[in-house]
């Protein structure tokens, strides 16, 4: 299940992020792989943890969805920058659940996927099934789906090696479409939503990111509770 978030994240929040991620982005100009800013947010070194930026982005949409998703102890499970280098390959079809069974025994993680620039299909934007689209109120039914068979394919390019095997993927992709997102637009998808992206066929890096939320009750591995993030102030 997935939905478009019907509000835009402020350009000023995104521009401050892009400015601070400048080093990573310029490196992706020369590197045709997917550059994951996995430790861009929340590094132990509190001067460089960028939680002030995460706070700004989060506050732009969380109040609109918190009651709908209704997590007992809402946490930011993890956040990554999804920078796909100029010329980098696509990401094979998968459900994120295949990666998260261990860390999220009862499925609660969902992703807010944010366009940090206007994303076209040539840039390697997200491809989803329109059949699974719901309105924002439908987020209350997130994570009620089922896991499909996945295989580990460490040879396939794109940085996400657990994938839906090629024959099944080809069949599923017939019903999937590129979803266009302008800078600051975002969509949310649950951990059972199969997704893929095409290669970045342009000469500049593709700029996107995801904030993955989950229920932190009974968990000790997550980035930060949402109430802590809201109260965060850089020391």
Q: Does 97 bind ligand AKG (CB under 6 A)?
A: no
Q: Does 96 bind Fe ion (CB under 5 A)?
A: yes
**Residue 95 lies near ligand AKG (rule: CB under 6 A):** no
CA dist 141 to 96, 110, 113, 190, Å?
17, 11, 18, 9
Of these partners, Fe ion, ligand AKG, none, which one is at the site of residue 197 (CB under 5 to 8 Å by kind)?
ligand AKG
Q: In the chain, what's the furthest Cα-to-Cα distance?
A: 52
Considering only 114, 210, 211, 214, the residue that binds ligand AKG (CB under 6 A) is: 210
Closest C-alpha to 206, from 88, 113, 123: 123
* Spatial CA neighbour of 159 closest among 199, 205, 107: 199
In terms of CB distance, is 13 or 98 closer to Fe ion?
A: 98
The pair of structure tokens assigned to 190 is 């649950």
Closer by beta carbon to ligand AKG, 111 or else 132: 111
* DSSP SS3 for 164: coil
With CB under 6 A as the contact rule, the residue among 77, 96, 104, 215 that binds ligand AKG is 96
**In terms of CB distance, is 96 or 215 closer to Fe ion?**
96
Are 114 and 210 within 8 A, CB to CB? Answer: yes
Q: Does 49 bind ligand AKG (CB under 6 A)?
A: no
61 forms part of the interface with ligand AKG (CB under 6 A):
no
């Amino acid at each position: 299940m997935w939905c478009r978030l019907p509000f835009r994240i402020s350009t000023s929040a995104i521009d401050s992020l892009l400015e601070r991620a400048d080093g990573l982005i310029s490196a992706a100009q020369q590197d045709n792989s997917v550059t994951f800013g996995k430790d861009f947010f929340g590094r132990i070194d509190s001067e460089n943890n960028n939680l002030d930026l995460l706070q700004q982005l989060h506050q732009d949409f969380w109040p609109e969805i918190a009651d709908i998703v209704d997590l007992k102890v809402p946490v930011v499970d993890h956040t990554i920058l999804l920078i796909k280098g100029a010329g980098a390959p696509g990401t094979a079809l998968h459900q994120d659940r295949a990666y998260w069974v261990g860390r999220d025994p009862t499925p609660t993680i969902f992703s807010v996927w944010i366009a940090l620039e206007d994303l076209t299909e040539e840039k390697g934007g997200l491809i989803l099934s329109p059949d699974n689209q719901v309105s924002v109120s439908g987020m209350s039914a997130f994570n009620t789906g089922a896991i499909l068979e996945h295989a580990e394919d460490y040879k396939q390019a794109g940085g996400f090696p657990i994938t839906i095997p090629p024959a099944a993927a080809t069949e599923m992709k017939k019903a999937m479409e590129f979803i266009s997102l302008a800078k600051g637009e975002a969509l949310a998808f649950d951990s059972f939503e199969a997704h893929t992206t095409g290669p970045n066929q342009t000469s500049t890096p593709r700029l996107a990111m995801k904030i993955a939320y989950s229920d932190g009750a009974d968990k000790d591995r997550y980035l930060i509770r949402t109430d802590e993030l809201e109260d965060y102030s850089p020391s």
